[in-house]
Homo-oligomer: A and B are copies of this chain.
Amino acid sequence: MDAMATPAMPDFAAWSRGVQSRMETALARVLPDAAIAPETLHAAMRYATLGGGKRIRPMLAFAAGEAVGADPARVEYAACAVELIHVYSLTHDDLPCMDDDDLRRGKPTCHVQFDEATALLVGDALQSLAFEVLADPAACSDAATQVAMLAHLALASGSRGMAGGQAADLAATGKSLELTELEFMHIHKTGALIQAAVLLGAMAGGALSASGRACLERYAHCVGLAFQVMDDVLDTETDTATLGKTAGKDAAQGKATYLTQMSAKEARTYARELIDDALAAITMFGAAGQRLADIARFIIDRRY
């Protein structure tokens, strides 16, 4: 923990628990009840989504909303939508034809707890639900901005965003990548949705100024990369029980990571430089950008 981060941390810890608690309630509300047919699918959607997760993307959405003065009641829709896309991607990534993982957030993965066909449909239906939630009339005060939010989430999720990054990741397995190729993959696989969390959280308050948008994009770009760098460090240095998912899996599967490019010490230094860039990008928001700054610092200080 660095000297700058220390004063804000206790307050941030309480704030982040507040977001996690709020998200649990909000997600439980937008997910169909397990008593509604088809019951197994709804139970599996709730299993995959509720009761765990760091909720980093919702935190980013609420923090970005705070930076521009958006109503948190509106931001909540964007936060749910982005988290539902994230959970769908985890559910599909864990399938046998992809990463074939059996542990996620400390629980059996969805296809282990239910079956493959159900896990496939869970991911499909969670993606639909994300757009349904973001298309709620209450998600933004301005319909034209809301259409732009929906377009942005779709672009960030699809073949030129997250799904494209996943395809690039699969194609790269067992190959050595240049650092630029590795970053291209991460900018798509995790960066696109992190950027969507930040931008949609802010757009919930209405159309963004060009300068506000540019600053938030820069922040999101740096935070997204730093998050991935630290994920690779933690995947190597942390045990499975602490992570809540299988540790050391990337290296075992021959996947390119930052630690095939640099030492863990160099990776931590690189992550810190990225976070400094992220913090510089949000100075225009002044004190309102405090939560964005807190999250940036949390990303390099986290243990799991």
- Contact between A129 and B37 (Cβ–Cβ < 8 Å)? no
- Contact between A40 and B171 (Cβ–Cβ < 8 Å)? yes
Does A73 lie at the interface of the complex (its beta carbon under 8 Å from any beta carbon of B)?
no
User: Which chain B residues lie closer than 8 Å to A130 at the CB level?
Assistant: 154
User: Which chain B residues lie closer than 8 Å to A125 at the CB level?
Assistant: 158-159, 163-164
Q: For the complex, give the distance between the alpha carbons of A155 and B117 in Å.
A: 20
Does A106 lie at the interface of the complex (its beta carbon under 8 Å from any beta carbon of B)?
no
- Contact between A135 and B120 (Cβ–Cβ < 8 Å)? no
Q: Which of A89, A116, A150 has the most CB of B within 10 A?
A: A150
> What 1/0 mask marks residues of chain A from 148 to 189 whose CB sits below 8 Å from any chain B CB?
101101110111110110111011000000000000100000
Q: Kindly specify which of A136-144, A208-216, A263-271 makes contact with the partner chain.
A: A136-144
Interface residues on chain A, size class:
35 or more
- Contact between B159 and A129 (Cβ–Cβ < 8 Å)? yes
- Contact between A127 and B127 (Cβ–Cβ < 8 Å)? yes
- B37, B137, B158: the one within 8 Å of A147 (CB): B137
Does A236 lie at the interface of the complex (its beta carbon under 8 Å from any beta carbon of B)?
no
Q: For the complex, give the distance between the alpha carbons of A118 and B32 in Å.
A: 29
- Contact between A154 and B132 (Cβ–Cβ < 8 Å)? yes
User: Which chain B residues lie closer than 8 Å to A36 at the CB level?
Assistant: 160
Does A206 lie at the interface of the complex (its beta carbon under 8 Å from any beta carbon of B)?
no
User: Which chain B residues lie closer than 8 Å to A153 at the CB level?
Assistant: 131
> What 1/0 mask marks residues of chain A from 268 to 285 whose CB sits below 8 Å from any chain B CB?
000000000000000000
A→B interface (CB under 8 Å): 32, 36-38, 40-42, 45, 88-89, 92, 95, 97-98, 115-118, 120-121, 123-125, 127-132, 135-137, 143-144, 146-148, 150-151, 153-155, 157-161, 163-164, 166-168, 170-171, 184
12 contacts between A and B (CB under 8 A): A36-B160, A40-B167, A42-B159, A45-B159, A97-B116, A121-B159, A121-B163, A121-B166, A127-B128, A128-B163, A132-B158, A137-B144
